[in-house]
Amino acid sequence: MNIDKKSRLMLFPRVGKFIIVFFAIAFIIAGLRGYQLYMYVFNENVKTEKAFIIPEGATFNQVLDTLQTNDILLNYKAFRWVSKKKSYPDLIKPGRYLFKMGMNTNQMVNKLRAGEQEPLDVTFNNARFKEDLAGKVSRYIQADSLSILQLFDDKKKIEEFGFTPETFKAMFIPNTYEFYWTTTAEEFASRMKREYDRFWNETRWQKAEAIGLTPVEVTILASIVQEETVKADELKRVAGLYVNRLKRGMLLQADPTVKFAVGDFSLRRVLNVHLEIDSPYNTYQNAGLPPGPINFPEVTAIEAVLDYEEHNYLFMVAREDFSGYHNFSRTLAEHNRHAARYRAALNERKIWK
């Protein structure tokens, strides 16, 4: 065997060992990378369980910024990698989302791709004017206050819902409802109509009919009752007083309707000049109920009308101790005595309006 042949035989084992080592290292690196990618996809990746909003037209970078600002993820690199592999940057959907503790990156991206929003509770109460309602609701959903206000000017849509512009308030019953952030003004109104129909079930319809009122008329009366007293234990008594006046054909003479007509609910004293205002809402001048609710009455006020207290009271005036309660009277003479005491208390405190 010559020297060249012997050298070649000694070289090949070395080359073989090198190849084996190379592939072994490559296999280990590939394994580590594969494990890393596996962890990217399936490892838990929630640091902070907090709802966040993706606005209409948001870019992928904006989504990342939102997640980082709220300190939601443990591994943002994993989120980027999985998102790109699943083409999420091209499939961004607006909404309010929540990543719950224990979720992995794959579940997160799938949730965002599918637009699986987290609903939120929308509560509105203590609303007198449509502007109040619009302002309260627009804090929770994508629809802005202007688009909600425009609902009250859409006569065609109002008629489709079965109301008039004056009675449209009755459709919005204050409560807590579950909505998605992407709800539009039209979707909000449609939902309120469904809730209105659900609220006015057969039992409530029968109670309204027993009083001689429609559901809308009950709501109008409830709006007056709600304005008359801040005391929950007085609601049914106040409701009974106005039912008595309606049944006797008496003018309601409800101060809140005058305040509504004047446009000033802060009035502590309703004067003769206020009572003379020319408005269909002035129940000192017009018989029966006003043409529409003077606020958005809550369920407690509506139920108070439906389950009104039966008594013989026809008059009421605030107590002179300013406790928030009222003195109720069966006769005008008795009422005038109570009213005189209240006027004297107002004068003593120098409350002139």
pLDDT tens, residue by residue, 216-264: 999 999 999 999 999 999 999 999 999 999 999 999 999 999 999 999 8
pLDDT tens, residue by residue, 86-116: 999 999 999 999 999 999 999 999 999 999 9
**Tokens 């224990």, residue located:** 102
**Dist CA 283 CA 70 (whole Å):** 54
25 inside domain: no
**Tokens 């296999």, residue located:** 27
174 inside domain: yes
80 inside domain: yes
In the DSSP assignment, the letter for residue 99 is P
Q: Are 74 and 195 members of one domain?
A: no
pLDDT tens, residue by residue, 265-310: 888 888 889 989 999 999 999 999 999 999 999 999 999 999 999 9
Q: Are 154 and 182 members of one domain?
A: yes
Q: Are 195 and 253 members of one domain?
A: no
**Dist CA 255 CA 261 (whole Å):** 10
Q: Are 310 and 228 members of one domain?
A: yes
Q: Are 102 and 177 members of one domain?
A: no
Q: Are 220 and 313 members of one domain?
A: yes
184 inside domain: yes
Domain that holds residue 224: 214-348
43 inside domain: no
Domain count, the chain: 3
pTM of the predicted protein model: 0.85
**Dist CA 114 CA 88 (whole Å):** 10
SS3 175: strand
Written as six digits, the tokens of 4 are 């060249």
